Structure 1
Amino acid sequence: MPLIRVGGELAYATATPLHAEVDRVLADAPRALVLDFADLTFIDSTGLAVIVHAWREGQSVGTTLRLRAVPRFLTSILDITGVAALVGRPLPATRAALGPDSARSAATA
């Protein structure tokens, strides 16, 4: 199961690398894609749009989007905007579940 770690600020100026990595991973149509937000410090509407894009594109290829280690501020934003209902409940913050070799980093700062 592919894992993309998202860190730093996910905003207008930094969202492009994550968008590209999501598209690259989804091209292989995995069963699931995990976005790990353990190191996320800020998100704006563009960053939120990348999450929605990942969900929508995942749906089109049969990939389930999972969110992991979601900070409290992002949980609030996902709930307020209704995005939480699209992606379901976040996964626990355990990085060991997937192993270090399955991780791709899309740290934005």
Structure 2
Amino acid sequence: MTTDTNAPQDAVLRLAGDLDFQTAALVHQQVDLALAARPAQLVLDLRGLTFIDSTGLAAIVYAWRVAQEQQATVRLHEVPAFLASVLDITGVGELLARPLPEAADPDASTA
């Protein structure tokens, strides 16, 4: 796994091999590190991914949740066909496509 934060607005995590029980904790750590810089977008480059289990899928959801809390988006790049199917079947693909929640307008008054 590599992290690239050279892009001014994006942080990029390149994942390769298996994303499973043994590697998910490392992904969580790298997501936290990447998002600490407050990028506008976290890109998960998955072109080298060969396997994912439910723990790995949960790591992707974790990335989405933490990014949402920071008003950042998550974009999946180079999704392997097997993972595209898993994302569709589980509904995680739809979750990742959700827009950021609108920030509350501090000038808006409530009636």
TM range (shorter): 0.7 to 0.9
Alignment of 1:1-109 (within 5 A): 1-88=10-97
Q: Which has the higher contact order (CA 8 A, sep 6+)?
A: 1
CA distance in 2, matches of 1:32, 1:50: 17
CA drift of 1:6 comes to 0.4
* TM superposition outliers: structure 1 runs of 4+ over 6 Å: none
TM-score (norm 2): 0.77
Paired letter, 2:56: G
User: Which of the pair has more CA radius of gyration?
Assistant: 2
Structure 1 residue 49, shift from structure 2 partner: 0.3
Rounded Cα–Cα distance in structure 2 between residues aligned with 1:84 and 1:14: 21
- Give the unaligned 5+ runs of structure 2: 1-9, 98-111
Q: CA deviation at 1:86?
A: 1.4
Q: What root-mean-square deviation, in Å, do the aligned CA atoms of Structure 1 and Structure 2 show? A: 0.7
Count of aligned residue pairs for this structure pair: 88
Which structure 1 segments of 5+ residues have no match? Answer: 89-109
